[in-house]
Amino acid sequence: MVNIENKGNLVINGMGSSGGGTFKKVLINGKGTVHGDVDCYDFSINGTGRVVGNVKGEHGKINGSGDIEGSIDFDRFTIDGTGGIRGNVKVNKIAISGKGRIGGSLKGEEIKIRGNATIGEDCEAEEFKGEGGFKIGGLLNADVIDISIAGECSAKEIGGQSIKVKKGIFRFLNNLFKSVYPVSLNTEIIEADEIEIEYTKAKMVRGKNINIGPDCEIDVVEYTGTFTQDPSAKIKEVIKI
């Protein structure tokens, strides 16, 4: 990163626009727009701000309804409200509370979703924690995956070392509105050493120790260690390797 210690701040209040550049702090309040790439330390959008370019920094946050029409590279990034990033996201830690939209891939050490997130391509992390609903167009891959379903969740494939999928804490709401808001995880393949899932639909579940919980619909289960199945789970074929 470019040395930004002696750089100034970019602050847009209300309706306004500015070119990109290198700054110590970038703050967009209201309906401001930045045209061009941004390199900074602190980055924040409050309101309906927009950046037409890529953004790189240490700490970033979108409050309200912010859009970045490029890719981002941050140490820490937070989306509160509705945030859209058209390109790829590379972060150390990211937290999405509310509704986040990522057009490309998401790569990070720690990914936390609390609300609803849409990721166009692959999602890769050391630790992935999802509470709510998400849609991942490609592979969800993390060492530790912990999903608490409170909506409709989907990924093309899911892989890791430890995968746990449970129904969310708002069980009575899920049951009440199940016909309107589906509560399930849909994927083609789940593969990990330790797998514990419920409310999941998959073509293949493959691993060492597998626990298939209630309301699962699985075509094939392949395991090398231990296997248990809830009576309500529907499995077409179980194979011990």
pLDDT digits (tens, 9 = 90+) for 88-104: 999 999 999 989 999 99
Percent of the chain with pLDDT over 90: 83
For 209-239, the pLDDT digits (tens) are 999 999 999 999 999 999 999 999 999 999 9
Is the per-residue pLDDT at 180 higher than 80? no
Q: What is the DSSP string of the chain?
A: ----TT--EEEEEEEEEEEEEE-SEEEEEEEEEEEEEEE-SEEEEEES-EEES-EEEEEEEEEEEEEESS-EEEEEEEEEEEEEESS-EEEEEEEEEEEEEESS-EEEEEEEEEEEEEESS-EEEEEEEEEEEEEEEEEEEEEEEEEEEEEEEEEEEEEEEEEEEEE-S-HHHHHHTTTTS--EEEEEEEEEEEEEESSEEEEEEEEEEEEE-TT-EEEEEEESS-EEE-TT-EEEEEEE-
Locate 123 and state its tokens.
């999602």
Segment 27-50 shows an average pLDDT of: 94
Mean pLDDT (the chain) is 92
* Residue position matching structure tokens 């409200």: 81
pLDDT band for position 182 (cuts 50, 70, 90): low
For 141-175, the pLDDT digits (tens) are 999 999 999 889 999 999 999 999 999 865 434 44
* Residue position matching structure tokens 């289960």: 221
Predicted local confidence at residue 179, as pLDDT: 42
Predicted local confidence at residue 3, as pLDDT: 44
Is the per-residue pLDDT at 36 higher than 90? yes
Is the per-residue pLDDT at 4 higher than 70? no
Segment 63-81 shows an average pLDDT of: 94
Task: Pick the more confident residue, 150 or 120.
Answer: 120
